[in-house]
Structure 1
């Protein structure tokens, strides 16, 4: 039965990713977020496509700016951007760790380092440097803490889901087998759900960007959350450093707890 479920999931994922890749061409969104939605759909199948239609696809010509201005859609864009970029490194780390038969903690560490490294340095700092005047160094600085907080919660969900997946399947996950990709897909989806509340806080405090609108004949139309991100909180009081430190400590604590639980589940 599991094989049938996985086959159906992969077929739906392929169809969903194709739909989003073709449809998003005409959506007036920034290029990096377009690629983000394509990647998210490749990770999460029809759920990713549903989120694209509900959260980003322009319902009628000329309405995209107002449509994506809703806070929950801004947060959707922020969370999607995180998961899309981090997911590439996380999946690469999981594949490498599997082939090297790394122990559990080393596996998690490799996935974290590659996921955070790619998501922060490429998907966040490099692709969004225009929001801080084009300076890559400044972009690295401004995106480090938001990426760190979001990544910790994303990995919390993933570590627990992968541990449960291994337990249910009853054997180590192998990238050459379909169950590896099915479990990782579910893990990224769970991580997305858990990262959403953290991204809500980050967007609300002006620490992360949300959706944007890019028209072919004009400049980027920055939504409120995007404008806040541009100068570290335009029109918003920046959160006190102690509050940011508290959120960082919380994210590390829940991630550490997830690792401990996953180790206990796996008997490693």
Structure 2
């Protein structure tokens, strides 16, 4: 979680800082949340908090992946062409979302691997497979919320204001912060489900 917290604070700001404080607060005399996965199954508020932390692992991968992908497509438009702009998609944003997903998925699996493999004592192969299973549905749920928010802003809100969104603008990254928060909201129930099934471990 050491990398996850500052990365997610890029979009979550104060509420991620609040969640960090809650996660590090002693609960039931067992010390900080960092050691809770060793204390047995969680219930109630402790379980909800562990799912929140699991969701942030997905969020960290999405955040880094989307930042890199957005600037890559902005700097090298040919990347968008390679992923369907002008052939499959009339608007570059849809090709960019494909690139976003690929980068976000790759980073998400990496974050999940380094969380799950040490916790379960898995070697590389089984650890990678566990990370893929843990991140796939979680990331899809996240991207649905993120893309939905971006689409509303891109195709409805900003045109109604007579404005447009560009990667090199403050407005774009403000909307991206809102979109990431929406992604967190849509991914949280999926993470709850995955933890209940034992596919993911509560953090």
Give TM class, smaller chain: 0.7 to 0.9
> Which residue in 2 is equivalent to 1:144?
132
Q: How many residues align?
A: 177
Q: How far, CA to CA, are the matches of 1:187 and 1:119 in structure 2? A: 17
> How far did 1:62 drift?
4.9
Alpha-carbon contact 1:58-1:67 (below 8 Å) kept: no
**Residue 44 (structure 1) aligns with:** 12
Q: 1:104 aligns with which of 89, 93, 97?
A: 93
1:114 to 93, 96, 103: 103
CA spacing shift, 1:65–1:89, aligned 2, 3 Å: closer
Distance 1:67 1:136, change over 3 A: closer
1:104 and 1:83 map into 2 onto residues whose CA distance is 20
1:11 match: none
How much does 1:76 deviate? 0.8
Q: Higher relative contact order by CA 8 Å / sep ≥ 6: 1 or 2? A: 2
Where structure 2 has 5 or more consecutive residues not aligned to the other structure, the ranges are: 37-41, 81-91
Where does structure 1 differ by over 6 angstroms across 4 or more consecutive aligned residues? Answer: none
SS in 1 for 2:167: coil
User: 1:58–1:67: structure 2 CA closer, same or farther, 3 Å change rule?
Assistant: farther
Contact 2:24 2:34 survives alignment (8 Å): no
Q: What is the RMSD computed on CA atoms of the aligned residues?
A: 2.3
Paired residues for 1:26-45 under 5 Å: 33-45=1-13
Please give the TM-score of this superposition, normalised by the length of structure 2. 0.78
TM-score when normalising by structure 1: 0.60
* Structure 1 position 74 matched with structure 2 position 21: no
